[in-house]
Amino acid sequence: MLREITASDLAAWLADAGTEQPVLLDVREDWEVQLASIPGSLHIPMNLIPLRMSELPDDQTIVTVCHHGVRSYQVGLYLANAGFEQVLSLRGGVEAWASEVDPAMAHY
């Protein structure tokens, strides 16, 4: 089972400059990222994760992000099974982020 983080908790974490910041891994498709994304996210579409895993740090927490939280959860499990120890999934995805944290973000 993969741990999840809420949009509100993630926003508080990102706002706390005194803590080590996570890598936000956005696994959505290009067109989705163009519509709405969390600033500072690293974009690697879900289907390219196996090919580009070497781009991910193994010494930082990775928070996987998608539209509603389903793909990010699957990618998070994949990364955990591949040996990444600090992986969380954003519960509810960018839709939850737009609803709870950034009302100016586009809903789609």
Q: What are the residue ranges spanned by the domains of the chain? A: 4-101
Structure confidence by residue, pLDDT tens digits, 2-24: 999 999 999 999 999 999 999 99
Q: State the catalytic residues.
A: 66
Say if CB 80 and CB 89 are below 8 A apart: no
Query: What ranges in the chain are assigned the alpha helix state H?
Result: 7-15, 30-35, 49-52, 70-81, 93-100
| Alpha-carbon gap, residue 53 to 67, rounded angstroms | 21
The CA angle 70-74-76, to the nearest 5 degrees, is 115
Say if CB 59 and CB 69 are below 8 A apart: no
As a whole number, mean pLDDT of residues 19-32 equals 97
pLDDT at 53: 96
pLDDT at 48: 98
Q: Is 65 helix (H, G, I), strand (E, B) or coil?
A: strand
| Alpha-carbon gap, residue 16 to 77, rounded angstroms | 26
Name the band, by pLDDT with cuts 50, 70 and 90, for residue 51: very high
pLDDT at 25: 98
Amino acid, res. 70: V
Say if CB 41 and CB 78 are below 8 A apart: no
User: Which CATH superfamily, name and number, covers 4-101?
Assistant: Rhodanese-like domain (3.40.250.10)
Among residues of the chain, what percentage have pLDDT more than 90? Answer: 98
As a whole number, mean pLDDT of residues 82-98 equals 97
Mean pLDDT, all residues of the chain: 97
pLDDT at 23: 98
pLDDT at 17: 92
